[in-house]
């Protein structure tokens, strides 16, 4: 079955969080689903990310991992991003152990980039360029260290995705109001009606 990497799948708001969100329902192990369990989806994600993250990366293309070693490196970075920022959201700040692991993995990834590679995030208007998906995700995560950006990272109460709240007063509650927000409203409506029906039979 073909999986669609549509706009909803990039509700994280930045590449680092989008990568972490390739696992759904992280805080409910019995429901957890890893979209990269099919290796073909990694390449498809990289292609979609180049389109959906132009506001962050301009017209840069992300090189997907091809070898088993590269795929392992990407997955390790994904999990390091998740641990680092999920811990921060749940009150732990940028804790030493997750931060150390994130920086260790990231240092190796950027060290594997070509010697003439420009690693700064380009202006959105800039054309061209290629960077590995893993290294780009690391650099995207580094930009979130700024306190005013870090405090805008949240966890969606429905799907458990990490997302960057860009609303003016940081009032956004869901990764995507049209998906998770509507599901939560439907669930509340169902529960309210079920309770009323139960009371009526009392």
CA 181, chain centre distance (Å)? 18
DSSP annotation of 146: S
- CA angle (4 as vertex; 16, 154 as ends), nearest 5: 35
Query: What is the predicted pLDDT for the residue at 80?
Result: 98
Return phi, psi of residue 195, to 5°: -65, -40
Which domains are present in the chain?
Answer: 7-200 (1.10.3300.10)
Query: What is the predicted pLDDT for the residue at 137?
Result: 97
Query: What is the predicted pLDDT for the residue at 200?
Result: 57
Q: What is the pTM of this model?
A: 0.88
Q: What six digits make up the tokens of 125? A: 């208007």
Query: What is the predicted pLDDT for the residue at 179?
Result: 86
DSSP annotation of 121: P
CA dihedral 120, 126, 129, 133 (to 10 degrees): 60
Indicate the SS3 state at residue 130: strand
Question: Do the beta carbons of residue 33 and residue 100 sit within 8 Å?
Answer: no
Question: Do the beta carbons of residue 186 and residue 158 sit within 8 Å?
Answer: no
Q: Which long-range contacts (CB under 8 A, 24 or more apart) does 180-183 make?
A: 180/156, 183/158
Per-residue pLDDT of the chain (202 residues; tens, 9 = 90+): 568 999 999 999 999 999 999 999 999 999 999 999 999 999 999 999 999 999 999 888 999 999 999 999 999 999 999 999 999 999 989 999 999 999 999 999 999 888 877 777 665 555 668 899 999 999 999 999 999 999 999 999 999 999 999 998 888 999 998 889 776 676 664 555 555 555 555 4
How many other C-beta atoms can be found within 10 angstroms of the C-beta atom of residue 12?
26
Indicate the SS3 state at residue 186: helix
């Amino acid at each position: 079955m073909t999986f669609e990497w549509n706009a909803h799948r990039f509700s994280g708001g930045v590449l680092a969080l989008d990568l972490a969100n390739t696992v759904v329902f992280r805080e409910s192990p019995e429901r957890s689903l890893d979209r990269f369990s099919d290796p073909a989806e990694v390449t498809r994600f990289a292609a979609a990310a180049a389109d959906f993250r132009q506001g962050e990366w301009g017209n840069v293309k992300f090189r997907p991992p091809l070898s088993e070693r590269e795929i392992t490196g990407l997955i390790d970075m994904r999990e390091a991003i998740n641990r680092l920022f999920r811990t921060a959201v749940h009150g732990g700040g940028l804790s030493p152990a997750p931060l150390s692991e994130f920086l260790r993995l990231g240092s190796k990834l950027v060290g594997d980039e070509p010697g003439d590679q420009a690693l700064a995030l380009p202006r959105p208007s800039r054309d061209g360029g290629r960077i590995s998906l893993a290294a780009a995700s690391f650099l995207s995560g580094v930009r979130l260290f700024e306190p005013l950006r870090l405090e805008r990272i949240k966890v969606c109460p429905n799907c458990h995705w990490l997302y960057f709240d860009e609303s003016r007063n940081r009032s956004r509650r869901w990764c995507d109001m049209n998906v998770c927000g509507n599901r939560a409203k439907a669930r509340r409506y169902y529960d309210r009606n079920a309770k009323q029906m139960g009371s009526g039979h009392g």
